Structure 1
Amino acid sequence: MRTEFHDTLESLVTDLAEMCDRASAMMRSATTALLDADLAQAEHLRVALAELSALGTGVHDRAYHLLALQAPVARDLRTVVSALHIGADADRMGALASHVARTAVRRFPERAVPDEVADLFTEMGSTAVQLAADARDAVADRDAALAERICAGDERMDELHRQLFVRVVGPRWRHGPMGAADVVLLGRFHERFADHAVEIARRVYFQATGAQLGAQPVGL
């Protein structure tokens, strides 16, 4: 019975790492769709999001099954409880990447981001992709040190978000209020994506150490 329990626990960790990996790949595709007006990449994300959500449902169901029937304690309990939160965060990351891609579809055949901010979205996209990939590794290895580094890495995304606002409200902005609204919302999607990756890292840290990094729950 305990062997089956630990096998199921390991499968949860494997699937959670896979969810983070898929979220990273989705943001990579969304960034390509956004910057290159690549409709094929954007359309691909609809299927990818459904697959990610299905994986998350499986994680959710198995975690509750373990809580109900195995009564885990100590680190095992932390792993199961963390799995519920990590799965939800990774699923939300996929949804945010999908929102980015939908903006690209809505503006097609034009590119959704003007030249004035393309460099920022290039870096925001690559930063988001890397944070999700690091979250994958932290989950897979239960790596508390990497989890701490992910939390620190979120500062770059925050700085890029601030730079985006400066450009949108600056005198060189020539794309009107609707263009500004699209850009600000896209920036928000990237910021939230990064915040969920950081929340996953905080869950990994808690799982590994039993201590909190002082996070507040991430909003939608």
Structure 2
Amino acid sequence: MREIFKQEMLQVGEDLLRMAQHMATAIDDATTALRTADLTLAEQVIDADQRIDEIQRRLDDHGISLLARQQPVATDLRIVVSGLRLSSTIERMGDLARHVAYVARGRYPELATTGQMRDVLTEMGVQATKVGKQVVQLLESRDLSLAAAIEHDDDVLDELHRRSFTVILDESEPMTRQQLVDAVLLGRYLERFGDHGVSVARRVSYLVTGDASKAVVSPEQQDAPVD
């Protein structure tokens, strides 16, 4: 029975990694579609989000089944519960990538933003893509230096998000009403993406160390529905 349990736990880890890989690809493609007004790429991101959702549903069913059948305790319980929470967070990161792709598709053949705002959002896209890739690497290696790097890059995203409001309020570069709405939404989506990356980093830190304080996230970084 113990060997079967270990194999099932390995499957949970593999599914989480696969989910994160899809998510990292999604945010890279979504921000590229936004920057280049690439309709085909935006639609690919939107369609591919179903794969992330399917893996999450399978993970949730598997995790609940493990809890019911194996009744894990101590470290094993921490692994199962962390897996369930990580799958939820990564799924939301995929949703945020999909939302960015929706904006890119909705403005085609035009760009969603121009000028300084486009520059800021492009930088945010680069940072969000970096966070997505770091999440994959963290799940592969459980290297806590990567967890610290994710938190640092989220700070960069937060600063860029604050800068976006400065641009929005700059009367020397007026935006249309639609551009204004898009700028606010896109900044929020990318900033939230970073917050969820921090949530993953802290949950993995807890998984590795067993220190419950490592899993604490601030109220601003609490998981929130984005559907």
Q: TM-score, normalised by structure 1?
A: 0.95
CA contact (8 A) 1:93 1:193 kept: yes
Distance 1:116 1:134 in 2: 27
Match for residue 124 of structure 1?
Answer: 124
Higher mean C-alpha deviation, range 133-142 or range 48-57: 133-142
Match for residue 6 of structure 2?
Answer: 6
What are the Cα deviations for residues 47-89 of structure 1, in whole angstroms up to 9, with x where unaligned? Answer: 2100110011111111111111111122221111011111011
Structure 1: gaps of 5 or more residues: none
CA contact (8 A) 2:46 2:102 kept: no
Match for residue 164 of structure 2?
Answer: 164
Match for residue 186 of structure 1?
Answer: 186
Residue among 200, 210, 223 paired with 1:218: 223
1:140 aligns with 2:115: no
Distance 1:72 1:147 in 2: 26
Q: Alpha carbon RMSD of aligned pairs, Å? A: 1.3
Distance 1:171 1:75 in 2: 56
Structure 2 counterparts to residues 82-101 of structure 1, below 5 A: 82-101=82-101
Match for residue 209 of structure 2?
Answer: 209
Distance 2:74 2:129 in 1: 32
Match for residue 38 of structure 1?
Answer: 38
CA contact (8 A) 1:143 1:208 kept: no
What SS does the corresponding residue of 2:223 show, helix, strand or coil?
coil
Match for residue 48 of structure 2?
Answer: 48
Deviation at 1:98, TM superposition (A): 0.7
Distance 1:88 1:76 in 2: 19
Distance 2:178 2:155 in 1: 28
Distance 1:123 1:14 in 2: 31
CA contact (8 A) 1:151 1:198 kept: yes
Deviation at 1:162, TM superposition (A): 0.7
Distance 1:73 1:195 in 2: 29
Deviation at 1:34, TM superposition (A): 0.7
Higher mean C-alpha deviation, range 78-87 or range 176-185: 176-185
> Which amino acid is the alignment partner of residue 162 of structure 2?
R
CA contact (8 A) 1:63 1:84 kept: yes
Aligned length: 220
What SS does the corresponding residue of 1:215 show, helix, strand or coil?
coil
CA contact (8 A) 1:14 1:140 kept: no
Deviation at 1:94, TM superposition (A): 0.8
Deviation at 1:176, TM superposition (A): 3.1
Distance 1:199 1:173 in 2: 35
Distance 1:142 1:9 in 2: 16
> Which amino acid is the alignment partner of residue 86 of structure 2?
I
